[in-house]
């Protein structure tokens, strides 16, 4: 007698880019018992959180879409934050994703026992599920600097990921910005445009690549809407450039590596006229060790008369400003912290508890590891999207999530066909995968002598060291011999 195909209950945590995608793909696969738990009151993930001036994606806009939902209406080559959020809102509405979302429900606890996950939320709700898909994203917990006196400052302080739009910044405002990463490189020029006196406190300079942004005319947008092949060509061109230039450059391919090195160094030389300022902005690590910033506005902005680059270390923060290690006191009215995120939190701070009451903090006490970036030992029927060693460096996270989503569906389909009732990664498979990744990291730019958010506590990058196509090929089919499966 043929068994009826099962319809699993699935809890998706997060309604950002990956959560929206997962809901759509599960429904297309015939799975209907889905709940999406979202901690905030709308979709959008990182593009809902980051509203700082100048927020934009450094992946070409036509590549930063779902493959099944192109957008011929992008106004710029590099889309800005509000437009990207609008795109995700559009997709969520078009595919009726919001019917499955429970907004303002943060997951506090998720525990596995007796073949089921029990999920509890901040609204005192409880959900029972066969599977959990953790789509909480990568960079969503702001990191605050450990600087003496930070809480003493009497002016206005905020993190770039929590931008305070009620603060009036004008020509009479003295603004201090701590940090010079990709977010700062976008926000600082916008602050300078206000006429405010902007003091930029730089700990480590960054390599910037000049890749011009431009607007799409109304005519070109109409043509793309009428002839989808044009939009597809734009998308494929962006994918080709990132895959065969950027990704290969940072993973050690000789020609691309040296070309990227030349372009970034030439950009610095040609953009910054003052030799003293140029040397302050020159990194002393190889190009690609930190995420290469694609930007055309920072170098222009930092040379304006109302901008100042400060490279002396910060001694402490006072009630009225910042004292640097040379003893100088910098008076400020507003302090902006562009100090990044806690990149290794992943699903935490939720209490994720697997088999035998194993808490995720204990499981990851010595090393954050996952098989194929997604599966953990002792956490059956659980998927971590965009986990450690996903190929994040200068590529589209949407493309990554689509590959991972297909992998998830294939495993869940095996469960639906009664091949097993639960599965998890073997510990040996996790160890072997991480050894394989670590071996590949030896030739990459990420081990090029810098400190970055890419590095874990052991100094190992959490990125994928091989080509994009190799990752896609290896993710096409689950290797069941690497998994423990059980039937009840």
| φ, ψ of residue 455 in degrees (nearest 5) | -95, 135
Q: Are 40 and 16 in contact (CB under 8 A)?
A: no
Lowest-pLDDT range, 105-109, 216-220, 343-347, 384-388?
343-347
Using alpha carbons only, give the angle 375, 27, 111 rounded to the nearest 5 degrees: 40
Residue 267 has pLDDT above 70, yes or no: yes
Q: Are strands 197-201 and 131-134 parallel, antiparallel or unpaired?
A: unpaired
Chosen CATH of 9-141+342-486 out of 3.50.50.60, 1.10.3720.10, 3.90.550.10, 2.60.120.280: 3.50.50.60
User: Is the per-residue pLDDT at 2 higher than 70?
Assistant: no
| Residues 378-406: b if buried by 16+ CB within 10 A, e if exposed | bbbbbbbbbbbbbbbbbbbbbbbbbbbbe
Tokens of 408: 């998830």
Q: What is the CATH number of domain 150-220+253-337?
A: 3.50.50.60
Residue with tokens 């302080």: 157
DSSP structure class, residue 447: G
Each residue of 354-412: pLDDT tens digit? 999 999 999 998 888 999 999 999 999 999 999 988 876 667 899 999 999 999 999 99
Whether 9-141+342-486 and 150-220+253-337 share one fold: the answer is yes
Instruction: Flag whether pLDDT at 74 surpasses 70.
Output: yes
CA 393-261-449 angle, to 5 degrees, is 65
Domain boundaries, the chain: 9-141+342-486, 150-220+253-337
Number of H helices, E strands in the chain: 14, 21
Provide the whole-model pTM.
Answer: 0.94
155-196 residue pLDDT tens: 999 999 999 999 999 999 999 999 999 999 999 999 999 999
Strand partners, 359: 353
Per-residue pLDDT of 400-453, as tens digits, reads 999 999 999 999 999 999 999 999 999 999 999 999 999 988 888 887 677 777
| Helix (H) or strand (E) segment spanning residue 111 | strand 107-113
Collapse the DSSP code of 15 into the 3-class scheme (helix H, G, I; strand E, B; otherwise coil) and give the result.
coil
- Which pair of tokens denotes residue 262? 């030349």
Radius of gyration of the chain measured on its C-alpha atoms: 23
Task: Print burial letters for 272-303: b (CB count within 10 Å at least 16), e (below 16).
Answer: beeeebeeebebebbbbbbbbbbbbbbbebbe
Q: Which of these, 372, 376, 381, lies nearest to 472 by C-alpha position? A: 372
- Give dist(CA 13, CA 106) in Å, integer: 8
Neighbours of 371 (CB within 10 A): 25
pLDDT at residue 249 in the model: 85
pLDDT class for 350, splitting at 50, 70, 90?
Answer: confident
Residues 304-331, mean pLDDT to the nearest whole number? 97
Which tokens in the block code for residue 329?
A: 């006191």
């Amino acid at each position: 007698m043929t068994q009826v195909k099962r319809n699993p209950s699935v809890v998706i945590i997060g309604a950002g880019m990956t959560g929206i995608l997962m809901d759509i793909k599960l429904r297309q696969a015939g799975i209907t018992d889905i709940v999406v738990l979202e901690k905030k009151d709308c979709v959008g993930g990182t593009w809902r959180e980051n509203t700082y001036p100048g927020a934009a994606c450094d992946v070409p806009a036509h590549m930063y879409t779902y493959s099944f939902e192109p957008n011929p209406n992008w106004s710029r080559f590099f889309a800005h934050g509000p437009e990207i959020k609008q795109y995700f809102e559009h997709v969520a509405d078009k595919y009726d994703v919001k019917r499955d979302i429970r907004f303002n429900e943060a997951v506090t606890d998720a525990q596995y026992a007796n073949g089921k996950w029990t999920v509890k939320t901040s609204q005192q709700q409880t959900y029972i599920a066969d599977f959990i898909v953790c789509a909480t994203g990568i960079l969503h917990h702001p990191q605050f600097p450990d600087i003496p006196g930070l809480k003493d400052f009497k002016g206005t302080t905020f993190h770039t990921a929590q931008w305070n739009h009620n603060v009036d910044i004008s020509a009479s405002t003295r603004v201090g910005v701590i940090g010079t990463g990709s977010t700062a490189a976008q926000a600082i020029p916008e602050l300078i445009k206000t006429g405010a006196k902007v003091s930029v406190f730089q700990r480590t300079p960054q390599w910037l690549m000049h890749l011009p942004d431009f607007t799409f005319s109304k005519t070109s947008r109409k043509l793309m809407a009428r002839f989808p092949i044009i939009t597809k060509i734009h998308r494929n061109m962006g994918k080709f450039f990132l895959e065969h230039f950027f990704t290969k450059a940072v993973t050690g391919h000789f020609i691309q590596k040296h070309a990227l090195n030349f372009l970034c160094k030439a950009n610095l030389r040609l953009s910054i006229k003052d030799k003293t300022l140029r040397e302050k902005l020159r990194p002393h690590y190889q190009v690609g060790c930190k995420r290469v910033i694609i930007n055309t506005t920072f170098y222009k902005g930092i040379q304006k008369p109302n901008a100042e680059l400060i490279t002396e270390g910060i001694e402490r923060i006072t009630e009225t400003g910042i004292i640097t290690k040379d003893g100088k006191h910098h008076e400020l009215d507003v302090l902006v912290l562009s100090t990044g995120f806690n990149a290794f939190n992943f699903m935490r701070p939720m209490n994720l508890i697997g088999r035998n009451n194993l808490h995720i903090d204990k499981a990851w006490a010595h090393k954050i590891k996952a098989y194929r970036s997604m599966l953990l030992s002792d956490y059956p029927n659980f998927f971590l999207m965009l986990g450690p060693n996903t190929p994040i460096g200068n590529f589209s996270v949407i493309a990554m999530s689509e590959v991972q989503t297909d992998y998830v569906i294939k495993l869940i389909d095996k469960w639906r066909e009664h091949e097993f009732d639960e599965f998890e990664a073997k510990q040996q498979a996790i160890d072997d995968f991480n050894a394989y990744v670590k071996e590949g990291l030896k030739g990459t730019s990420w081990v090029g002598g810098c400190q970055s958010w890419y590095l874990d506590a052991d100094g190992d990058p959490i990125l994928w060291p091989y080509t994009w196509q190799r990752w896609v090929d290896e993710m096409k089919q689950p290797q069941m011999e690497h998994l423990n499966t059980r039937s009840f």
